[in-house]
Amino acid sequence: MSRKIVVALWAFALLIVTAWADTSVGGEGGCINLPGGRGGARPNSGGAQMSVAWEATTGVSPNGLLMRLPNELFGAVAIVRGATMPLVATYGSLDGYVRLPASIVSALRMGDVGFTVDFFNMAGTRLQVRADYVGEQLRLRVE
């Protein structure tokens, strides 16, 4: 095999592995698995109690922020509100994901230190995610 073919195959394999990698500890692509997504445990939800909140850091892609919901929040609605700005927006989930557009994330960044996303489903299950800006990254926290 020529070297170009080997490099192309290696790059393709790395792309596949990166696409399926677990992003629960954060990432650069603007996609994050919330606790309970991909089979992970949620903090303070039955079983052994966690004394530390779940945290992850991610970048915001040009398409915005994509959050994968836990199974029990399938079909949830997201309510986004600024920490100090009087801005509220709602977004529905699609196939277990909620996408916050880059426009809303950047608008909240303009005059705020962060924002809160509350997820609610029809059964009344609630998950609150606090997002704080740390440089160019977002730190997400669930307690």
- What is the per-residue pLDDT across 56-73, written as a single tens digit (0 to 9) for each? 888 888 888 888 888 888
User: Is 31 within the bounds of a domain?
Assistant: yes
Residue 72's domain spans which residues?
Answer: 24-142
Give the pLDDT confidence of 15-37 residue by residue, as tens digits. Answer: 454 444 434 434 445 678 888 65
For residues 106 and 110, give the distance between their C-alpha atoms in angstroms, rounded to a whole number. Answer: 6
User: Is 78 within the bounds of a domain?
Assistant: yes
User: Is 18 within the bounds of a domain?
Assistant: no
User: Which pLDDT score is estimated for 56?
Assistant: 87
**Does the predicted TM-score (pTM) go above 0.85?**
no
User: Which pLDDT score is estimated for 117?
Assistant: 92
For residues 81 and 126, give the distance between their C-alpha atoms in angstroms, rounded to a whole number. Answer: 15
Contact 131, 114 (CB under 8 A): yes
For residues 37 and 33, give the distance between their C-alpha atoms in angstroms, rounded to a whole number. Answer: 5
User: Which pLDDT score is estimated for 119?
Assistant: 93
User: Is 50 within the bounds of a domain?
Assistant: yes
- Number of folded domains in the chain? 1
Mean of the per-residue pLDDT values for the chain? 74
Q: Phi, psi at residue 5, to the nearest 5°? A: -70, -40
For residues 71 and 88, give the distance between their C-alpha atoms in angstroms, rounded to a whole number. Answer: 25
User: Which pLDDT score is estimated for 2?
Assistant: 75
Percent of the chain with pLDDT over 90: 13
User: Is 114 within the bounds of a domain?
Assistant: yes
Q: Phi, psi at residue 108, to the nearest 5°? A: -70, -30
Which among 120, 122, 123, 116 is positioned nearest to 140, based on CA atoms? 116
User: Is 88 within the bounds of a domain?
Assistant: yes
pLDDT value at 42 more than 80: no
Q: Phi, psi at residue 115, to the nearest 5°? A: -155, 170
Run of H or E including 103: helix 102-111
User: Is 75 within the bounds of a domain?
Assistant: yes
